[in-house]
């Protein structure tokens, strides 16, 4: 008894969906591999090669040859070829850049920043222009309460890429 959509090669709709998924994954990998590598990424790969040499996974000759190839690499695909065979040192993790954040985190930062600005200005004013020791300590306390949170919120809303 045979069912429609059996597992015959090239047969069912599941096979076509799987084939399309593999093709899309291949296109993404090709685009990633064709992306130009930066100097810092080449340096990271050289550091990984030195670590592998220190662990005894590479001979001195292999280290020299792979380091020369890493420094001459133009793309991420070239750098991944340099790391071939060194399991646990996948290069693709090096150049996975975080996706840029949308408008909402930045909007949250600016709203919170506008609401806390009077307190930060008050703390700074008390610290710089306070007449007594108590006012200056109060300024330090106000700044200590508000500035770290504001800086952390800024780092969250504006990640470094």
Report the pLDDT averaged over residues 103-115.
90
Residue 95 has pLDDT above 80, yes or no: no
Instruction: Specify the DSSP class assigned to residue 95.
Output: T
Average pLDDT estimate for 152-161:
81
Share of the chain above pLDDT 90, in %: 30
Mention every residue, 6+ apart, whose C-beta is less than 8 A from residue 69: 78, 81, 82
Quote the pLDDT of residue 103.
85
For position 118, what pLDDT does the model report?
A: 94
pLDDT, one tens digit per residue, over 15-54 is: 887 787 777 777 766 666 667 878 888 888 888 898 888 8
Q: Label residue 99 by pLDDT band (50, 70, 90).
A: low
5 pLDDT band, cuts 50/70/90, is very low
Half-sphere exposure of 45 (CA within 13 A, CB side): 33
The position carrying tokens 């899309």 is: 24
Q: How far apart are CA 144 and CA 142, in angstroms?
A: 5
């Amino acid at each position: 008894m045979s069912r429609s959509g059996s597992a015959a090669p090239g047969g069912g709709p599941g096979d076509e969906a799987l084939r399309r998924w593999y093709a899309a994954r291949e296109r993404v990998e090709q685009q990633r591999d064709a992306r130009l590598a930066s100097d810092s990424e080449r340096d990271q790969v050289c550091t990984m090669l030195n670590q592998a040499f220190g662990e005894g996974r590479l001979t001195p000759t292999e280290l020299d040859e792979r380091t020369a190839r890493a420094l001459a690499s133009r793309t991420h695909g070239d750098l991944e070829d340099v790391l071939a065979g060194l399991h646990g040192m996948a290069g693709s993790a090096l150049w996975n850049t975080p996706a840029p954040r949308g408008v909402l985190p930045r909007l949250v930062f600016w709203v919170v920043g506008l609401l806390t600005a009077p307190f930060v200005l008050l703390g700074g004013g008390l610290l710089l222009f306070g007449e007594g020791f108590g006012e200056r300590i109060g300024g330090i306390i106000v700044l200590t309460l508000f500035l770290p949170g504001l800086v952390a919120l800024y780092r969250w809303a504006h990640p470094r890429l």
